[in-house]
Chain A
Amino acid sequence: METSTLTAMYGKFAAVKAVTLQFPANQVHALIGPSGCGKSTFLRSLNRMHEMSIGGWVTGRVLLDGEDVYGPGVSVIQLRRRVGMVFQRPTPFPTKSIYDNVAAGLMLEGKLPRAELDEIVERSLRRAALWDEVKDRLKGSAIALSGGQQQRLCLARTIAPEPEVILLDEPTASLDPQGTQRIEELVFELKKDFTIIIVTHNMQQAARTSDTTTFFYLGTMVEHGPTKQIFTTPQNEQTEAYITGRFG
């Protein structure tokens, strides 16, 4: 996935300014920066969720396998099946069981045979490291789970339809340290199969989990490079100031 001079607007205000970035497959890419720097808006532009916001529109290009996702004739629905997303707060569907939550994205393509569905649900829950905790209550309520379990359920729901890219928008912001650690371990596991782009406020999280890091400030992409380089020898003064905690 890559972007080319991507600009995301709210009405006349440019929240993201002409960002060009490449996200090689099967790596974890972290987006960091102070609040309001445009990193979440940038993320939401990648699966065209930004245009759902009031006054939201974009210019520039977002390429998925070389094809512009904003091009004419592109189905937003198909795109979002290829680019999954997990949000800051866990969002299990409250009226659906644990099983039906994981299967929610699969039902859209038409009915799958029961056995196949069972298999995908189990595999998705295993990959989200949740299977052992919920295998005896798949028909039970999804909102009875703890916050950390709910977030892993959302992760299972996102990976079940086998997207190519997973967008994580501060996925651990509402979790306790244990929940956070489990999600971080999963991110590391899941990059074998998916390209992962993670927005985070937590510098240690970016340093621990990602292969590349991009620093955003005031809607502009300030610096992009291998995570190790960004955190040890940043080229830009602002990046250094931010990662050493002098502002942000």
Chain B
Amino acid sequence: MVGLMIGAVIVAVLPLIFILGSLIVRGAGSLSVAFFTRMPVPAGETGGGVLHAIVGTLIIVGIAALMGVPIGMGAGLHAAEYPGSKISWTARFVADVMNGTPSIVVGVFAYTLVVAPQKHYSAFAGSLALAVLMVPMIMRSTEELIKLVPNSLREAALALGYARWRTSLSIVLRTALPGIVTGSLLAIARVAGETAPLLLTALGNQYFSVDINGPMETLPHVVYKYATGPYEEWHQFAWAAALVLILVVLVLSIAARIATRQKFGGARG
């Protein structure tokens, strides 16, 4: 039995090791300081970097997090604190459906809402799509973590003369916060690698741009564009960009672990 379980673990971890391994083998060679600080060079030349895509990914994911994290946390807090209410039931149901929705559908949604009316692609539409993907994940993880806070703590605060809202915010949410931060960072890391919704919204941009109303380059799109291109140097480039994308996700995950470590105690995620 133990042997079977160990076998399952190996099978589960193996693809991950292969992916990481081949990314490092094929991508690390093209990584240099220039890769992080320079713009791409025309086909045929060597060198250059993906500064525009790194900055673009940070901006798009950053704005998505600013929109998605507070909404997801607030909805999760409500669902956990008023579990019987109709709103909570509806929100939970919608979130579960949303969690299973293909991301390209969300991309189409942002396309219809922002890109089509203004008749040009925009980074903001990309942020919107990523935020929509993020909210149900954050809501559900927040709800689960808040449910772990013992009811006795809630009662202690109420008995001390805390108002209901104050108990929710300063005792319950505060106690569950490290886990919620972890859940949110994992949700952010998860959407940072999304490609399909960005193809329909932020599109991509071969120039450096910080205009959130216009098209913007992102790391997943760089991988897509250069991997499907005809040149060997482009393929190298795509490997390196994929490695950087994985590193960004890795850094976020490690940040999530560090955020979980806290002064005293409370729920952990």
Contacts and interface: CB of A to CB of B under 8 A. Distances in A.
Interface string A79-105: 011001101010101111100000011
A85 B159 contact: yes
B159 A157 contact: no
How big is the B interface, by class? 20 to 34
Nearest to B154: A52
B162 A108 contact: yes
A104 B153 CA distance: 13
A218 interface: no
A47 interface: yes
Contact of B155 (A52, A96, A143): A52
B152 A80 contact: no
Contacts of A94: 153, 175, 264-266
Contacts of A97: 264
Interface of A: 47, 49, 52, 77-78, 80-81, 84-85, 87, 89, 91, 93-97, 104-105, 108, 141-144, 154, 157-158, 161
Contact of B156 (A78, A81, A93): A93
B151 to A, nearest CB: 10
B150 to A, nearest CB: 8
Contacts of A84: 159-160
A164 to B, nearest CB: 13
The 7 closest A-B pairs by CB, nearest first: A91-B156, A85-B159, A81-B161, A141-B264, A80-B161, A94-B265, A105-B160
Given A87-B152, A93-B175, A95-B174, A141 B158 contact: no
A96 B155 CA distance: 16
A104 B160 contact: yes
Contacts of B263: 95, 141
B81 to A, nearest CB: 12
A159 to B, nearest CB: 11
A107 to B, nearest CB: 9
Interface in B130-158: 150, 152-153, 155-158
Most buried by A among B166, B177, B265, B266: B265
B174 to A, nearest CB: 5
B20 interface: no
Contact of A108 (B159, B161, B265): B161
Given A141-B265, A143-B265, A95 B175 contact: yes
Contacts of B159: 47, 49, 80, 84-85, 87
B2 interface: no
Contacts of B12: none
Nearest to B162: A108
Contact of A52 (B150, B158, B161, B166): B158
Contacts of B177: 95
A91 B153 contact: yes
Contacts of A141: 263-265
A93 B166 CA distance: 14
A143 B156 contact: no
Contact of B160 (A95, A142, A157): A157
B59 to A, nearest CB: 33
A152 to B, nearest CB: 14
Given A94-B264, A94-B265, A141-B263, A78 B152 contact: no
